[in-house]
């Protein structure tokens, strides 16, 4: 033992004046290894991984390892303040990152969608356990309070801690049960979001009071008004600033993970601001996460990278350290064990009863209220974060911290099986089933998954019409649009600036129509950036495309070339864009009135994936029109009439395809008329149907054919050449990305 101890002390550098980096690495490796390993086991048995990370700290801490082999435990986790400060600093930064992640997972749109019911439930779900926790704090013996003279602050803290639920744990179970889109699932998540948000605001205020050591009215007013002012600025000016900074980083910085760097810096700045106004840094990190999560430019890849960094490093270190700080051996004291049982009972009854009462007041059924109450009782990571901050600020004693960690672990482990059992007895209603089917179709669709549009235009009327198309596609969902002027002399001259502003005006007008609103303020969320590059069009598009766009809408003066293909400028602009294209060709009235968006849309379908993509775009445009969408089935050479000759094989293929499109359009309340042409060339059938249906816009899904020049095939070329009405060609991805 002595030889081992001497060798370890030499390797760890113990006995010196400075803390050991070697020990810090050993501590991190142990916490990550044991925490992630136990987290994996917990997930396999249906428990949240955070339970495994907490148990890792308990196992490595005084509760087990320190009890069985105290010398080894003290050697690896020495109690000297200098060494402890190293990993504590990492854990404190981890708290901010965890609150950033929690904020990013906070869906305010969901809260707005289920609004009144969730707010009613949340208020009852907070007030009841808050009163229970406050009463418990008033009844605790002085020995459990580090500062008995500040009992009121400790009671307020305990009441708030008991009233908060863990959004992350609740969301994991609801998502696992496929209830994320169910009405009751959305109410459960929204209620947890409101609980979390209100709880962190109250905690920040209480910490502000606790840090001053007094409970005087001026301190309280300063904390309250400082918090309200911070929230007001954050969700008005701050939201815009955060979005612009993330977009600027994505568009201009070429270094790796530039957006993640900006997000972490934003979190740090907002945490410092909340500290300077006298409230805790956790509120700044949480609000930063909400604003980052709402940014439309935040791609899935960036989100996953940031989430991976936090969950793989900071979560096991922080929660492991929380477990290390808890000493469950103190529960051998019968009085502390009894008080822990009382704490768990009060926390569970208060939260369960408050949420159940709130569900009844909010109009939920008994079974729905039961499911809601079961989900709200999980404290999980949120409770541990609060308890850790309370311990560091001297609001909680070491024994009280251990009791709260025990309560958090047990209530979190009890929640998943209770919530699963409650949700399994809630079949969807007919109305809810219809909504779920529509959302399932949307999730797989092309238009529903668009996040950012690039609009490449010149100064022509066709460009104005393309701007209108782009605005209609973006307006309903508030997609950001970059307008790239690719005229022959697209410089920053005043006339070109006016041209860019004209396109921006067209986009906003169409976006307003798509959102079905009358006030300009209600479509400000459609963010439009106008760029005019001095580079050749091909280079300008190449530079812009690297920033990440899901669709490029092209509207130039000349579409068709003399050889029957596309004009050279179209080839040049589209050559370097590897994503889907929407090439616009305005004709007839749309050349004279390019801002007119009262379309009579016709879309040909054949059953292929790309024709389905065209149908989705057609439905999105038809939603803004007062006339029905006209869908015409056109057969290809290989399937022409084949199914119609064998009625025993069920409904013909053409009818099945049309039924699918009609059903999809019905989910958006878009009326549809249909026609079948299976005995004529597709281009001839389309032109004939345009005449008979009096349509003024053809939307076609087309394949992008390999080659040096842009080519959508002979059918698209013939329709573009012979049609007397406007044409919108929506392509598949560049074939180079499909290899």
Based on the domain organization, do 396 and 484 belong to the same domain? no
Closest CA to 693 of 673, 670, 669: 673
* C-beta contacts of 264-270 below 8 A and 24+ residues apart: 264/97, 264/100, 266/242, 266/291, 266/292, 267/96, 267/97, 267/100, 267/292, 268/96, 270/234, 270/238
The domain that holds 684 is classified in CATH as 3.40.50.620
β partners of residue 581: 552
β partners of residue 482: 454, 529
Based on the domain organization, do 255 and 241 belong to the same domain? yes
The domain that holds 276 is classified in CATH as 1.20.1530.20
Torsion angles phi and psi, residue 640, rounded to 5: -60, 110
The answer to whether the CB of 18 falls within 8 A of the CB of 85 is no
Alpha helices in 424-532 (DSSP H): 430-444, 461-475, 494-515
Residue 153 inside a domain? The answer is yes
The answer to whether the CB of 250 falls within 8 A of the CB of 548 is yes
Chain centroid, CA 589 distance in Å: 41
Name the packing angle between helices 151-163 and 380-392 (round to 10°). 160
Name the packing angle between helices 653-666 and 609-622 (round to 10°). 40
Residue 91 inside a domain? The answer is yes
In whole angstroms, give the CA distance from residue 395 to residue 331.
20
In whole angstroms, give the CA distance from residue 52 to residue 62.
17
Based on the domain organization, do 579 and 609 belong to the same domain? no
In whole angstroms, give the CA distance from residue 620 to residue 46.
41
In whole angstroms, give the CA distance from residue 31 to residue 36.
8
Residue 11 inside a domain? The answer is no
In whole angstroms, give the CA distance from residue 190 to residue 117.
9
Based on the domain organization, do 297 and 371 belong to the same domain? yes
Based on the domain organization, do 240 and 256 belong to the same domain? yes
Residue 7 inside a domain? The answer is no
Based on the domain organization, do 183 and 147 belong to the same domain? yes
Tokens of 348: 């569970």
In whole angstroms, give the CA distance from residue 371 to residue 188.
8
Torsion angles phi and psi, residue 336, rounded to 5: -65, -35
Q: Kind and range of the H or E element at 104? A: helix 81-104
Give the three-class secondary structure for 604: strand
Instruction: Give the torsion sign (CA, 32, 35, 41, 47).
Output: negative
In whole angstroms, give the CA distance from residue 662 to residue 670.
9
In whole angstroms, give the CA distance from residue 188 to residue 359.
10
Tokens of 79: 């109690």
**Structure confidence at residue 488 (pLDDT):** 60
In whole angstroms, give the CA distance from residue 720 to residue 19.
74
Closest CA to 446 of 473, 483, 478, 481: 473
Closest CA to 262 of 298, 314, 310: 298
Instruction: Give the torsion sign (CA, 126, 129, 135, 138).
Output: negative
Torsion angle in degrees (nearest 10) through CA of 722, 727, 732, 735: 50
Based on the domain organization, do 468 and 541 belong to the same domain? yes
In whole angstroms, give the CA distance from residue 45 to residue 617.
44
Residue 16 inside a domain? The answer is no
Q: Distance of CA 160 to CAs 108, 129, 157, 386, 636, Å?
A: 22, 8, 5, 9, 66
Based on the domain organization, do 577 and 611 belong to the same domain? no
**Structure confidence at residue 645 (pLDDT):** 45
Based on the domain organization, do 220 and 365 belong to the same domain? yes
Based on the domain organization, do 549 and 603 belong to the same domain? no
Choose one of 381, 403, 423: the last residue of a domain: 423
The answer to whether the CB of 236 falls within 8 A of the CB of 280 is no
**Structure confidence at residue 729 (pLDDT):** 94
Residues listed for the chain? 739
**Structure confidence at residue 698 (pLDDT):** 94
Tokens of 344: 């768990």
Based on the domain organization, do 146 and 210 belong to the same domain? yes
**Structure confidence at residue 728 (pLDDT):** 94
Choose one of 552, 584, 616: the last residue of a domain: 584
**Structure confidence at residue 301 (pLDDT):** 67
pLDDT along the chain (739 residues), means of 10: 53 59 89 91 82 87 85 84 84 84 74 70 85 90 85 84 73 65 75 75 74 64 80 90 87 78 93 82 86 77 79 85 83 90 90 87 84 79 77 84 86 81 78 69 74 87 88 80 74 48 69 55 62 79 83 89 82 87 90 81 88 90 87 68 47 79 83 85 90 91 87 90 92 59
In whole angstroms, give the CA distance from residue 712 to residue 732.
9
In whole angstroms, give the CA distance from residue 258 to residue 546.
14
Residue 301 inside a domain? The answer is yes
Report how many domains make up the chain. 3
Choose one of 395, 423, 451: the last residue of a domain: 423
Residue 117 inside a domain? The answer is yes
In whole angstroms, give the CA distance from residue 463 to residue 687.
24
Based on the domain organization, do 579 and 621 belong to the same domain? no
Residue 17 inside a domain? The answer is no
**pTM for the complete prediction?**
0.69
**Structure confidence at residue 697 (pLDDT):** 93
In whole angstroms, give the CA distance from residue 372 to residue 108.
19
Q: List the strands of the sheet with 629-634, edge to edge.
A: 528-532, 481-485, 453-457, 551-555, 581-585, 726-731, 697-702, 601-605, 629-634, 672-677
> What is the residue range of 731's domain?
598-739
Give the three-class secondary structure for 511: helix
In whole angstroms, give the CA distance from residue 635 to residue 39.
54
């Amino acid at each position: 033992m002595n030889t081992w101890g001497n060798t370890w002390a030499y390797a760890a550098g113990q006995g010196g004046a400075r803390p050991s980096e070697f020990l810090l690495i050993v501590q991190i490796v142990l916490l990550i290894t044991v925490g992630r390993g136990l987290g994996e086991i917990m997930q396999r048995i249906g428990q949240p991984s955070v339970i495994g990370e907490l148990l890792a700290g308990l196992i490595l801490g005084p509760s087990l390892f320190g009890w069985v082999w105290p010398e080894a435990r003290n050697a690896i986790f020495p109690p000297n303040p200098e060494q402890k400060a190293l990993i504590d600093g990492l854990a404190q930064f981890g708290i901010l990152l965890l609150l950033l992640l929690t904020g990013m997972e906070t869906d305010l749109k969901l809260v707005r969608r289920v609004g009144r019911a969730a707010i009613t439930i949340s208020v009852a779900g907070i007030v009841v356990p808050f009163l229970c926790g406050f009463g418990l704090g008033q009844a605790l013996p002085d020995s459990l309070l580090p500062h008995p003279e500040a009992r009121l602050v400790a009671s307020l803290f305990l009441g708030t801690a008991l009233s908060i639920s863990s959004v992350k744990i609740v969301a994991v179970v609801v998502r696992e049960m496929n209830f994320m889109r169910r009405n009751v699932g959305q109410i459960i998540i929204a209620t947890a979001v409101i609980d979390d948000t209100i709880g962190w605001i109250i905690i920040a205020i209480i910490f502000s009071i606790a840090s001053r050591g007094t409970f005087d009215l001026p301190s309280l007013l300063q904390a309250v008004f400082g918090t309200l002012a911070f929230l007001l600025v954050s969700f008005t000016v701050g939201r815009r600033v955060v979005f612009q900074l993330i977009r600027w980083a994505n568009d201009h910085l070429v270094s790796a993970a530039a957006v993640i760097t900006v997000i972490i810096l934003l979190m740090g700045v907002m945490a410092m601001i909340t500290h300077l106004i006298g409230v805790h840094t956790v509120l700044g990190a949480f609000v930063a996460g909400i604003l980052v999560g709402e940014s439309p430019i935040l791609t899935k890849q960036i989100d996953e990278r940031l989430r991976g960094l936090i969950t793989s490093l900071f979560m096991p270190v922080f929660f492991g350290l929380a477990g290390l700080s808890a000493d469950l051996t103190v529960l051998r004291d019968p009085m502390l064990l009894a008080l822990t049982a009382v704490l768990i009972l009060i926390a569970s009854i208060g939260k369960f009863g408050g949420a159940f009462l709130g569900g009844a007041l909010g109009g939920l059924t008994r079974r729905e209220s039961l499911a809601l109450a079961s989900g709200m009782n999980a404290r999980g990571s949120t409770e541990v974060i609060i308890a850790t901050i309370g311990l560091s600020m001297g609001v909680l004693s070491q024994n009280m911290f251990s009791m709260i960690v025990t309560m958090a672990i047990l209530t979190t482990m009890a929640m998943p099986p209770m919530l699963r059992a409650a949700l399994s007895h809630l079949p969807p209603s007919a109305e809810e089933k219809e909504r779920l089917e529509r959302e399932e179709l949307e999730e797989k669709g092309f238009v529903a998954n668009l996040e950012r549009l690039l609009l490449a235009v010149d100064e022509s009327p066709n460009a104005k019409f393309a701007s209108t198309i782009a605005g209609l596609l973006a307006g309903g969902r508030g997609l950001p649009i970059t307008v790239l002027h690719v005229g022959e002399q697209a410089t920053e001259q005043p006339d070109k600036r006016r041209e860019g502003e004209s396109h921006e005006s067209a986009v906003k007008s169409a976006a307003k129509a798509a959102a079905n609103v009358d006030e300009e303020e209600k479509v400000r969320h459609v963010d439009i950036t106008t760029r005019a590059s001095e580079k050749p069009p091909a280079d300008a598009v190449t530079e812009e495309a690297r920033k990440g766009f899901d669709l490029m809408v092209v509207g130039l003066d000349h579409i068709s070339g003399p050889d029957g293909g596309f004009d050279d400028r179209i080839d040049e602009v589209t050559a370097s864009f590897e994503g889907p294209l929407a090439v616009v060709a305005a004709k007839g009235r749309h050349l004279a009135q390019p801002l007119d968006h009262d379309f009579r849309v016709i879309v040909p379908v054949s059953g292929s994936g790309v024709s389905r993509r065209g149908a989705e775009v057609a439905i999105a445009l038809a939603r803004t029109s007062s006339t029905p969408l006209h869908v015409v089935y056109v057969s290809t050479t290989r399937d022409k009439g084949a199914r119609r000759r064998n009625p025993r094989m069920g409904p013909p293929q053409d009818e099945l395809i049309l039924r699918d499109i009609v059903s999809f359009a019905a989910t958006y309340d878009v009326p549809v008329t249909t026609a079948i042409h299976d005995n004529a060339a597709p281009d001839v059938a389309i032109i004939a149907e345009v005449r008979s249906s009096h349509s003024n816009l053809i939307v076609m899904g087309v394949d992008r054919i390999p080659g040096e020049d842009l080519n959508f095939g002979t059918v698209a070329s013939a329709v573009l050449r012979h049609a007397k009405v406007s044409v919108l060609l929506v392509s598949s991805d560049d074939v180079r990305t499909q290899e």
